[in-house]
Chains A and B, each alone.
Chain A
């Protein structure tokens, strides 16, 4: 009696098994890569060359974000302060603190402090800080409560879907312009964020772009 199955079918179960294993491995590793918060860097908290404490400077000393991040209202990029900005105070205050050794070294040598970058949009995304902070979007909307962070970390996912959530419904994030850098601001009692936001959307004619050209050029 002739064989019902041709010869090559002897290897078929093994081939199928190998393929399935590869597919399963791809799916698992794909999930592990893309579906974890690590992919969007949420929680990324690198060690900085200088242990700068935001909560101390903002909450205890009452400094405004814009004292150091001077370009945020004018430019697409919100700059990290130069050594000079640190030294404005730290020639007098804590002038000998060992924690500030790197800053003093930079001031003496002229070499900048290599701060580790936490938030980064891909090269094909053109985010603009100025237009957000000048139109009532607070720092907290994208960066979280930096004013309570001793060491800054990546608080929000910064994925495209997350951007569009707000661009499609800006009322959920708008606040009075003088409260933009007040990260702890809450809507006054008796109102909700939505009510206030909707008022601003109407009064300020807020129309965030939702087409590709808004961010990709």
Chain B
């Protein structure tokens, strides 16, 4: 799909920004916040050069609502932000799910709660997957683990948002946003989606269209929410993706998302070299979550060790998936320096009761 002949050394935030351009993003609206500010900085020049839309919005509230306005016309549009400021966007995300609008949102996570700080963390799993807005709705959430995936999943976010008319978030973190790695853009690999049946283009040759979430009829309202959830079921059926490594014979499987995936893969290798049958599992889509596959794996796996940079958020979904078939434990740190391979190995050994090398 992607040609690797054009690899370049690029920072995660710039990779996301240029990928949005190549995906055909017509408008970017944003407000500065570390550690994602380079996205807006880059696009302020790039969108100007391309004669596309760019607004440095007065707030994150305004930015996400500008995206709603733009995508309601059928245009591709995006905003980017970070954790505590994504919190400000939750109302609009609830509206956009109800209105079925293809909003694309990049969240380069920082540490919370509150203002927290600018070092990386993964504390927005709940905010992203379960939603901070009101009512029943689900975002589509994609979690990259390296700079190449920042590009690939930004492409995919634009496509999935359009295909399913559902707000789609790329959940990156400060580590990815600020890190340089070799990566290749290739071409936007997805087909364009026809949105002429619903986009606001002016009532020419047809009746006026209204996109709204206001619901004055209880029966219609119930039917609408049920229909939305039938759509979420279809998204789960067709779009759930994950990666797994050495799970065939694994006794213990490490589970992580986003950039922590890198360290559980390395920890798995160390554990294997020491005679422990370890595997690794990494959801690429956090919403929809690969529940079914984890449940299958639980038939043969004794223990799942969830490794997260938070106080244990994704572990809830792993437990729901495993549904009591296997033991599920947590190795974590709330914020800051990523758990090292050594810390993960030691944590796993402590959990499985192998004291041989636990002194690392």
The judgment on whether A and B are partners is no
What is B's interface to A at a CB cutoff of 8 Å?
Answer: none
